[in-house]
Amino acid sequence: MRILMVCLGNICRSPLAEGIMKTKAAESGLNWEVDSAGTGYWHSGEPPDRRSIQIARKNGIDITDQRARQFRAADFEKFDKIFVMDVNNRKDVLVQAKDETQRQKVVLMLDLLFPGQDRSVPDPYYDDNGFEEVFGMLDAACTKFVEAALSPK
Ligand code: 4NP
């Protein structure tokens, strides 16, 4: 399976989501490809925010090799699932979908935990203390997704 994590800047939330999902998939023997992107272009080429690097490291995950890039319509062809961090990301990604098959690939990250409630992963960019909470949400959501993939259908 190919999974894309999407937020606004691709420096805070989606790099964490990428690192967490990659780690959990690998630990479970799942051969998944996981990438991330931002709907905005401002941080393209940059490594993750140092606060995301720190909270990941604290949890045993190294995300320093990641570099930000902007989401593009071609991502709809490459990826099977596109997890968006908030409802604005969802809107910005969905307008680039060309048909229903592509729209169906887009899932709000917290729908994994709270289906249908339109809950967003809060943007921690202006909140130094928000990273711990964001990590916890993403960790729980990724755990749920990996467990669902492993459980017999
Ligand atoms: P992210 O956080 O979308 O989780 O990567 C942000 C990073 C940068 C900005 C906004 C959100 N910014 O406005 O530059």
Q: What is the mean pLDDT of each run of 10 residues along the chain (153 residues)?
A: 98 98 98 98 98 98 98 98 98 98 98 98 94 98 97 79
Which class would CATH give 2-150? alpha beta
What are the residue ranges spanned by the domains of the chain?
2-150
How many angstroms separate the alpha carbon of residue 92 from the centre of ligand 1? 14
- Which numbered atom of ligand 1 lies nearest the CA of 134? 4
Q: Whose CA is nearest to atom 6 of ligand 1?
A: 9
- Whole-number Å distance between alpha carbons of 60 and 14: 17
pLDDT recorded at residue 91 = 98
Q: What pLDDT, on the 0 to 100 scale, is given for residue 152?
A: 79
Among residues 49, 51, 48, 59, the alpha carbon closest in space to that of 20 is found at 59
Tell how far the Cα of 22 is from the centroid of ligand 1, in angstroms: 21
What confidence score (pLDDT) does residue 85 get? 98
| Å from CA of 50 to ligand 1 middle | 13
Instruction: Tell the residue nearest (CA) to atom 7 of ligand 1.
Output: 9
pTM for the whole structure: 0.98
84 within 8 A of 90, measured Cβ to Cβ: yes
Residues labelled as active-site residues = 7, 13, 123
**Nearest C-alpha to atom 9 of ligand 1 is from which residue?**
9
Going by alpha carbons, the residue nearest to atom 3 of ligand 1 is: 8
Q: What is the pLDDT of residue 123?
A: 96
- Closest CA relative to residue 108, chosen from 141, 68, 60: 141
Among 69, 125, 135, the mutation site with the greatest number of ligand 1 atoms within 8 A of its Cβ is 125
Residue whose structure tokens are 């999407």: 6
pLDDT for 68? 98
Beta bridge partners of 3: 34, 81
CA separation for the pair 39, 69 (Å, rounded): 9
